[in-house]
Copies of this chain bind each other. A is one copy, B any other.
């Protein structure tokens, strides 16, 4: 047994008001560090609250508050009686968290992804700026179509940081059953935490019109997304063209 003078392993710098952060937030950061390090993989159970309280030498209530915040941020999932689990993009509950497209009439619909290409390329200045890398650095460029009920509805151009995903191939995309983020998380250990989307209305150009089977000039919803992993590190930029004839982008304003 350790004989500590202080109750907690963590120095309590309560008075230094500039960098003060409460105990539960320090615990949270430690747990996030463990997630980043892969101590527990997606879908795994993390140690119980009591066990974490012992490990960090704090009360269970403090651990609880840390986990509360992480559950609210979709990093962890609580299941009463079972434990607390690392969130995963394989979970069906997360399928529509990053794809807000819904059919105008009727229920949540399944879609099929059709990857068209997947090549390593040098980052343009624009892509590099968004992904916080240098122009000319490697990026993985993907083109794909999403079909709802057989009809093409979305055309995506996706750019992934090359350093992390260089081994990705078209075959691998085609043979994978689940979502792209699910693949990136399970095959590359990189989990998408949050994203920003910027939406505009544009007219279809010739290339996109062919992919979506619409007329050139047809109004399309342009959705540009930057996705971030732990530590607010941008790892994906994508540009999606949504045909909103029979679908719409649904957003909840809390």
Does B199 contact A249, Cβ atoms closer than 8 Å?
yes
With known contacts A253-B97, A254-B74, A219–B201 Cβ distance under 8 A:
yes
Does A196 contact B244, Cβ atoms closer than 8 Å?
no
Least CB separation from A197: chain B residue: B251
The number of chain A residues touching the other chain, given as a range, is: 20 to 34
Which residues from B are CB-within-8-Å of A242?
Answer: 201
Asked whether A177 is an interface residue with its Cβ less than 8 Å from the other chain, the reply is no
User: Min CB distance, A136 to chain B, in Å?
Assistant: 25
Among A102, A195, A251, chain B packs the most CB atoms within 10 A around the CB of: A251
Among A97, A100, A196, A254, chain B packs the most CB atoms within 10 A around the CB of: A254
Which residues from B are CB-within-8-Å of A197?
Answer: 250-253
Asked whether A220 is an interface residue with its Cβ less than 8 Å from the other chain, the reply is yes
Asked whether A165 is an interface residue with its Cβ less than 8 Å from the other chain, the reply is no
Least CB separation from A101: chain B residue: B199
Identical chains in the assembly: 2
Which residues from B are CB-within-8-Å of A244?
Answer: 199-202
* Bound-state Cα–Cα, A249 to B253, Å: 13
Contact of A200 among B74, B100, B249 (CB under 8 A): B249
Asked whether A107 is an interface residue with its Cβ less than 8 Å from the other chain, the reply is no
Least CB separation from A192: chain B residue: B253
Which residues from B are CB-within-8-Å of A248?
Answer: 198-200
Asked whether A98 is an interface residue with its Cβ less than 8 Å from the other chain, the reply is yes
**Interface residues as binary, A36-79 with B (CB distance below 8 Å gives 1, 0 otherwise):** 00000000000000000000000000000000000011100000
**Interface residues as binary, A215-233 with B (CB distance below 8 Å gives 1, 0 otherwise):** 0010111100100000000
Does B250 contact A196, Cβ atoms closer than 8 Å?
yes
Which residues from B are CB-within-8-Å of A100?
Answer: 251, 253
With known contacts A201-B201, A244-B200, A254–B194 Cβ distance under 8 A:
yes
